[in-house]
Chains A and B, each alone.
Chain A
Amino acid sequence: MLFRRAFKDSIPVLMGYSTMGFASGLLLAVGGAISWSPLWAAATSAAFVSGPLQYIFVDWMATSLAIGSVLLVTLCVNFRYSLYGLSLIERFQGASLWKKAYLIGTITDETYALQMACDLKGGTYVTYCLFLTMLDHLYWICGVTAGAVVGVLAQGAFSPEKVAAATQGIDFAMTALFLVILADLLRNAANRLPALIGLVAALVAVFVFGKGGMLIPAISLIVAAFLAFRRWLDGK
């Protein structure tokens, strides 16, 4: 019964993760310039559990971005997750260590929202959350891997050149994903100034250092601006 409830609640996530995952897997196969892409798709989707990181992983593979920049981007994109756990600490109390370790390690915006919306208590709640988290995690891994498998099969059936020509422009899905996340964040007035700071810092950094070298300067500028303007930005 708990499983059925978790499955029913997770259906919107199934639609989103399988489609977005599929597109990122396809991108990796077509544009990631790496052999055995389905294997990398499965491993990275299981370990990162993040849409933005999964898309930008393709860019990293294509450009071999320095690991320092890679880690800094990861830190900035996923820092908010470190705050999600806090609101769940008390509700997960009593769960065994490995259950907690799994629940916490795979949390996403969507899973978090569903977990916060659930009114169950105690052990039942933890079991529900486990089902939900496993389902969401599985949708994501299957979506990404299936995309890469289809990409590789298509390259085998036709030719890499033909597949590249047919899918030309599909990499805009990454830009579109970030634009959608940004549009949603900007609904909340408190996010507008931080977003503007990110925009200005990134523009300055890209004009000075170019695309390949912009990320670390941009992030440094953003953090410096946050510390300098905290008085105005920190509306509690």
Chain B
Amino acid sequence: MESKALYALTVLVSVGVLSYLLRALPFLLFGTRGEPPALVKYVGRVLSPAAIAMLVVYCYAGEVAKLTPNTHMWAIAAPYLAGVLTIALQLWRRNPLLSIIAGTLFYMLLVRL
């Protein structure tokens, strides 16, 4: 098997199993009744916003890594301008599909200027 396929298979199985276990965790730990410890509830509540903010930084780090000395001005600004548009649209219209499609199309336009 090619190494890429082996890597994909490893990710598929390990992430699949971990995803499943996470979803099943309360049932495995607390049976049909019971409460999780306060610490677990606390971490569960605060982890999502932090993880998503972290992934936004990860995405932008990828954008910076794409830059070359030949990247033109609009392509450098594209992720930030498109990001502002995406957030503004989402705060205004609360339609995730609209915000994502408009933001992505705007980005695709800017990198082609």
Contacts and interface: CB of A to CB of B under 8 A. Distances in A.
Contacts of B100: 20, 173, 176-177, 180
Contact of A86 (B36, B38, B55, B107): B36
B53 A78 contact: no
16 contacts: A34-B4, A40-B8, A78-B22, A79-B47, A86-B30, A89-B26, A177-B96, A178-B55, A178-B59, A179-B86, A194-B49, A196-B53, A197-B46, A222-B54, A226-B46, A236-B38
Contacts of A222: 47, 50-51, 54
B27 A100 contact: yes
Interface string A169-207: 110111111111111111000111011111101110010
Interface residues of B, number: 73
A83 interface: yes
B90 A197 contact: no
Interface of B: 2, 4-5, 7-8, 10-12, 14-16, 18-20, 22-27, 30, 32-33, 35-36, 38, 40-65, 78-79, 82-83, 86-87, 90-91, 94, 96-97, 99-101, 103-104, 107-108, 110-112
Contacts of A47: 12, 15-16, 19-20
A180 B4 contact: no
Given A90-B32, A211-B62, A198 B49 contact: yes
A177 B33 CA distance: 35
A234 B59 contact: no
Q: Is the interface of B mostly helix, strand, loop or mixed?
A: helix
Given A194-B46, A203-B57, A178 B8 contact: no
A182 B88 CA distance: 12
A107 interface: yes
A168 interface: yes
B78 to A, nearest CB: 7
Interface string A84-113: 111001100100000011001111000000
Contacts of A80: 44-45, 47-48
A74 B53 contact: no
Q: Is the interface of A mostly helix, strand, loop or mixed?
A: helix
Q: Which of B44, B59, B90 has the most CB of A within 10 A?
A: B59
Contact of B42 (A172, A183, A215, A230): A230
A82 interface: yes
A206 B61 CA distance: 7
A202 B46 contact: no
A78 B11 contact: no
Given A79-B48, A83-B26, A86-B30, A199 B54 contact: yes
A184 B90 contact: yes
Nearest to B90: A183
Contacts of A90: 32-33
Given A83-B44, A89-B30, A179-B56, A104 B12 contact: no
Contacts of B57: 199, 202-203, 206, 214, 218
